Amino acid sequence: MLPLPPLRRALLCQPWRTWLRWKSSAVVQVANEPILEFKQGSPERAALQQALNDLKGKTEEIPCVVGGEEVWTPDVRYQLSPFNHGHKVAKYCYADKDLINKAIQAALAARKEWDLKPIADRAQILLKAADLLSGPYRAEILAKTMVGQGKTVIQAEIDAAAELIDFFRFNAKFAMELESEQPLSVPPSTNSVVYRGLEGFVAAVSPFNFTAIGGNLAGAPALMGNVVLWKPSDTAVLANYCVYRILREAGLPPNVVQFVPAEGPVFGDTVTGSEHFCGLNFTGSVPTFKRLWKQVAENLDRYRTFPRLAGECGGKNFHLVHRSADVASVVSGTVRSAFEYGGQKCSACSRLYVPDSLWPQIKARLLEEHGKIKVGNPAEDFGTFFSAVIDATSFGRIKKWIEHAKSSPNLSILAGGKCDDSVGYYVEPCIIESKDPQDSIMKEEIFGPVLTVYVYPESKFQETLRLVDSTTAYGLTGAVFAQDKNVVREATEVLRNAAGNFYINDKSTGSVVAQQPFGGARASGTNDKPGGPHYILRWTSPQVIKETHAPLGDWKYSYMQ
């Protein structure tokens, strides 16, 4: 066997790699989208006010989009504005089993061509969508998120604009960089990895509370060559459909992502019952994810490939305060984390542990700040800190927790907690003190503006660390507030498994794409870290190709002669 001349060998092994490196570094230079301030007189404020005006009293008609067509079924539903439930913001319809099956067939028919497209071409579509969101559609997507999901200006901006744009841009960059990750080639062979989409269709099931998450759950698998059925949450259809339209306008071909609002169990049962089901990209509550996982297990013998299951679920997130903490940081961080978006962030702080020595000071400051929080209509009053909770079901659930606090001898309400659903689903920010660190209010996710404080003896910090770690089944986010570096080190060690996103002297919310990739383990989910470079690996099934450029020669080994 003749060795290849060095130049030819180098050319055979390298040129496409160099090209990809060049291409990815040349094309994808991204940074986090700047967060706009919406100050009085700013153009972004004027544009947003115009977009909010345009939505006043309007009901947008939103079809299912299946097989490249807009489809209406007789099962018509309405999305209501949380802070004014007399306003139907969207009229949409539920896909039934037959329509979902039709969507599966259309997805499978589109799969091959889409999967064979170069990653760079698919990435361009997400980059274009990000530009459309950043520019011409920014005000519209913000207004729809505010009116439909009850967000304030800043909460809509960090979600529907900044985070979604970041997801699209960074995933495009991560995908291009991933493609340039190639195995060693040793003469006379060249080795390469092809990042294929999964064989089948992916179901993306999204929650109400982040417009960005919906776009990412559908967008990231599509970027990696998958075909996706996207089932939005009933209470986020308006903004999610806007994202879907933007993806299509950016060049996403029909049937790569189909928009399929449906009743949860009907959608879940139908997709997990298909032999072509190959992935679930879910964000939502633990019971829903467990139900879907069990259905997958029951159907396992039917599938052509082992499905990938990604689920980012709830949290019972903590702020742990040490006596060396900076009190002002604790108070402002906790007010923001516990009450922004009415506590309806998976990362919201809902249990606060304070040493008895600091409690009088922290309590006084917390109550003072609590008195300044304005709850109201965020579209009409930009001074609103948070608005109504998402719907009647949430309102009822949160009210029950507040009633539990009223009736339990271990719990006392220190401030707030009034509930009024006459116009919207309003719940006052509520601060509760618990004498029992094991009360269910310290363990279970409430998903509302309710903060429970447990005051621990200052001398029992080590015991409290273990208490924080073991109280709840969740492990999503948490924060320690301490100036003492040894305490920070100890807390970081003991709480290693208590939070997938751990903060030191900062609040437990506000992760930023590419800066703090997000997710937790334990009951909080599969911790696949959307917003980080590894996330897209979940949505690809790599194929390795070895090509040999010289004749294979004799089958006998030389030592045998």
Could you tell me the smallest distance in angstroms from the CB atom of residue 420 to ligand NAD? Answer: 21
Q: What angle do CA 351, 290, 310 make, to 5 degrees?
A: 90
Cβ contacts of 122 within 8 Å, gap of 6 or more: 114, 175, 222, 223, 224, 225
Residue 150 to residue 160: CA distance in whole angstroms: 13
Could you tell me the smallest distance in angstroms from the CB atom of residue 556 to ligand NAD? Answer: 58
Q: Which amino acid type is present at position 375?
A: V
Residue 341 to residue 514: CA distance in whole angstroms: 23
Q: How far is CA 406 from CA 159, 228, 239, 412, 414, in A?
A: 34, 46, 37, 7, 11
Could you tell me the smallest distance in angstroms from the CB atom of residue 402 to ligand NAD? Answer: 18
Residue 530 to residue 391: CA distance in whole angstroms: 27
Token pair 């979600």 is found at 159
Catalytic-labelled residue, pool 13, 242, 278, 346: 346
Could you tell me the smallest distance in angstroms from the CB atom of residue 303 to ligand NAD? Answer: 17
Could you tell me the smallest distance in angstroms from the CB atom of residue 472 to ligand NAD? Answer: 13
Instruction: Give the pairing type, strands 257-259 and 201-205.
Output: unpaired
Nearer to ligand NAD, 256 or 292 (CB): 292
Backbone angles phi, psi at 147, to 5 degrees: -75, -35
Nearer to ligand NAD, 333 or 531 (CB): 531
Alpha helices in 188-322 (DSSP H): 211-223, 237-249, 264-272, 286-298
The answer to whether the CB of 478 falls within 8 A of the CB of 499 is: yes
Nearer to ligand NAD, 202 or 354 (CB): 202
Question: Given the rule CB under 6 A, which residues bind ligand NAD?
Answer: 205-210, 213, 231, 233-234, 264-265, 267-268, 283-285, 288, 291-292, 312-315, 346, 445, 447, 476, 518-519, 524-525
Nearer to ligand NAD, 283 or 464 (CB): 283
Catalytic-labelled residue, pool 33, 157, 163, 312: 312
Could you tell me the smallest distance in angstroms from the CB atom of residue 461 to ligand NAD? Answer: 28
Nearer to ligand NAD, 225 or 315 (CB): 315
Nearer to ligand NAD, 377 or 526 (CB): 526
Nearer to ligand NAD, 285 or 408 (CB): 285
Note if 312 is an active site residue.
Answer: yes
Q: How far is CA 442 from the centre of its chain?
A: 24
Residue 206 to residue 203: CA distance in whole angstroms: 10
CB-based closest residue to ligand NAD: 268
Cβ contacts of 60 within 8 Å, gap of 6 or more: 89, 90, 91, 238, 241
Q: What angle do CA 517, 521, 523 make, to 5 degrees?
A: 130
Token pair 């489809």 is found at 71
Could you tell me the smallest distance in angstroms from the CB atom of residue 182 to ligand NAD? Answer: 32
Residue 343 to residue 365: CA distance in whole angstroms: 19
Catalytic residues: 312, 346
